[in-house]
């Protein structure tokens, strides 16, 4: 029986698991700073399971950035990888590198009802595209397409770098403050961990106040504690997320539904569910009715990127 390994590699942590019987097993999270290369991290992971290089036949790694050619440099940590050297070192016959948000999108195909919270009700059209959007270190945006073969195709893109949309006079005033701070204002400049701080600064500037927080965790902690200023930041954050998600649905015909992922939202789930996200999501003028019946879910699954790497490997082998 063949044994495969899947990985989801971020800037701070690398998540590894065995892919057995089309499911994850033996998940571990390793700090990328503790290892000079992915080969050494994987060797340490295997050793913890009493496995040596050569014990796995195939590897699929989800990585941030374009994944063509032999040499891959990770965009968010110090690692780099030569496909040839990697396979020789770990005695692997098959190595598949995929974009991290493509893996995230494919992971949506393995979710259970317990892995999601409903943000907007509706009926998904199963043959239509699904939109995946996730504020984390940056803003990831992806599309998932069902294929006639029963497989899935994930379309990577750079949707986090679209212009930040403006839907109200208040948002226009905030945009002017952001433009003064940042120059060109992308969706990611607000809809990310650092974006929470940018948004807090813009709100303070608009109100003539000094910023109180300089770390994303401080903003979310204040909001969860009921601080009025923190709540205002999270409310506007959720509204802008709704606008960007709605724009993607209109562009892609994403009537298969929207999945909200990433590291930020699960921490503030109660605020998201009580926010104006749904109102902003549907606020599209003459096209508002188009958005009204499209479901939106907040994904709470712990390792969707790893699941997606497993799905990608499974599809590549079938």
Binding-site residue set for ATP: 7-12
Please choose, from the candidates 81, 26, 82, the residue with its C-alpha nearest in 3D space to the C-alpha of residue 55.
Answer: 26
Name the 3-class secondary structure at 67: coil
| H helices present in 147-227, as ranges | 169-182, 193-207, 216-224
- Nearest Cα neighbor of 270 from 215, 218, 200, 223 is 223
Q: In what order do the strands lie in the sheet with 4-9?
A: 23-31, 13-20, 4-9, 58-63, 94-99
CB contact at 8 A, 274 and 141: no
Q: Which positions ≥6 away from 295 have C-beta within 8 Å?
A: 118, 120, 121, 122, 123, 124, 257, 258
Annotated binding residues: 7-12
Pairwise CA distance, residues 88 & 40, whole Å: 13
**Structure tokens, 226:** 């009921």
Beta strands across the sheet bearing 130-135: 116-120, 296-299, 258-260, 130-135, 139-146, 152-156
- Please state the φ and ψ torsions of residue 80, each to the nearest 5 degrees: -140, 160
């Amino acid at each position: 029986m063949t044994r495969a390994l899947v990985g989801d590699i971020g800037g701070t942590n690398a998540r590894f698991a065995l892919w057995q019987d089309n499911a994850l097993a033996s998940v571990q999270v390793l700090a990328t700073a503790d290892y000079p290369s992915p080969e050494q991290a994987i060797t340490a992971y295997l050793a913890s399971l009493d496995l040596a290089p050569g014990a796995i036949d195939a590897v699929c790694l989800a990585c941030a950035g374009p994944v063509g050619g032999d040499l891959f440099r990770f965009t968010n940590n110090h690692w780099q990888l030569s496909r040839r050297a990697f396979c020789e070192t770990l005695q692997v016959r098959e190595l598949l590198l995929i974009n991290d948000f493509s893996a995230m999108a494919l992971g949506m195909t393995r979710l259970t009802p317990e892995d999601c919270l409903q943000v907007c009700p509706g009926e998904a059209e199963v043959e239509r595209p699904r939109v995946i959007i996730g504020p984390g270190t940056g803003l990831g945006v992806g599309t998932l397409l069902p294929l006639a073969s029963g497989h899935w195709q994930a379309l990577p893109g750079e949707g986090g770098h679209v212009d930040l949309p403006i839907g109200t006079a208040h948002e226009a005033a905030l945009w002017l403050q952001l433009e003064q701070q940042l120059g060109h204002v992308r969706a990611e400049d607000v809809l990310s961990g650092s974006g929470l701080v940018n948004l807090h600064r813009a709100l303070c500037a608009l109100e003539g106040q000094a910023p109180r927080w300089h770390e994303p965790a401080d903003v979310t902690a204040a909001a969860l504690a009921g601080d009025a200023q923190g709540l205002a930041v999270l409310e506007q954050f959720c509204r802008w997320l709704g606008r960007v998600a709605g724009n993607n649905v209109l562009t892609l015909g994403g009537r298969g539904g929207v999945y909200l992922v990433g590291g930020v939202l699960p921490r503030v789930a109660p605020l998201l569910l009580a926010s104006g996200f749904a109102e902003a999501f549907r606020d599209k003028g003459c096209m508002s009715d188009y958005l009204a019946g499209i479901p939106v879910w907040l994904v709470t699954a712990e390792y969707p990127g790893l699941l997606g790497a497993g799905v990608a490997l499974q599809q590549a082998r079938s």
